[in-house]
Amino acid sequence: MAVLVGKKAPSFSAPAVINGNQVVEDFSLDQFIGKHPVVFFFYPKDFTFVCPSELHAFQAKLAEFEARGAKVVACSTDTPESHWGWLQVPKAKGGIEGVTYPIVADVTKTISEAFGVLAGEYDFDMDGNLIATGPMIAYRGLFLIDKEGTVMHQLVNNFPLGRNVDEALRMVDALQFFEENGEVCPANWSKGEAGMKATFEGVAEYLSAN
């Protein structure tokens, strides 16, 4: 599994459903470079069980991400038609109606593979095409990408383990605190707390005050 932290996020162009009902054919994270940080998260499959709880949880916090200038984008290996269909199903019936952030359709599995979260048995043929010998879906990967397109935070969970959306929001806060103040964020840091200078003197000062 690839570690992308400190590297440029893989570029892609793929179909996506935006605003809960509109299919676009050439969605890309490149549109946010120079403008917005991005929380890009993968989930295994439409019409499943843990997945809608995560998608709704991100939607519930979407205004808080947007208040920080951050964009939230989801992705799975389902088709755009599957995404669209699931978006029409009410929450009470296991659907994700009401989710408005983009959901990318990684039908070719190449986005999941590039981000290092593709599960299942697969290989590449002589022409470089990805070929499957079993089901291929994405682990619960999450990537925080800064305005310059660099991955700053990476988290990958196995299928049964749902993520903490508040922690994703905390990571956005930590990134922005560092960018604005040049100070680093110690253990359990949260927005509104002091950071520390990345020097021995700064660490000693912080520890003595805490």
Q: How confident is the prediction along the chain (210 residues), in pLDDT tens digits per residue? A: 689 999 999 999 999 999 999 999 999 999 999 999 999 999 999 999 999 999 999 999 999 999 999 999 999 999 999 999 999 999 999 999 999 999 999 999 999 999 999 998 777 788 887 777 667 899 999 999 999 999 999 999 999 999 999 999 999 999 999 999 999 998 999 999 989 887 645 444 555 666
Overall pTM > 0.95: no
CATH number for the domain harbouring residue 68: 3.40.30.10
Residue 123 and residue 187 in one domain: no
Same domain? For 109 and 190 the reply is: no
Domain match, 81 and 126 both: yes
**Number of structural domains found in the chain:** 2
The four Cα atoms 131, 162, 8, 171 give a dihedral, to 10 degrees, of: 180
For residues 210 and 108, state if they share a domain: no
Is residue 51 part of the annotated active site? The answer reads yes
Co-location of 31 and 91 in the same domain: yes
Among residues 4, 51, 96, 145, the one annotated as catalytic is 51
CA distance 4 to 9: 7
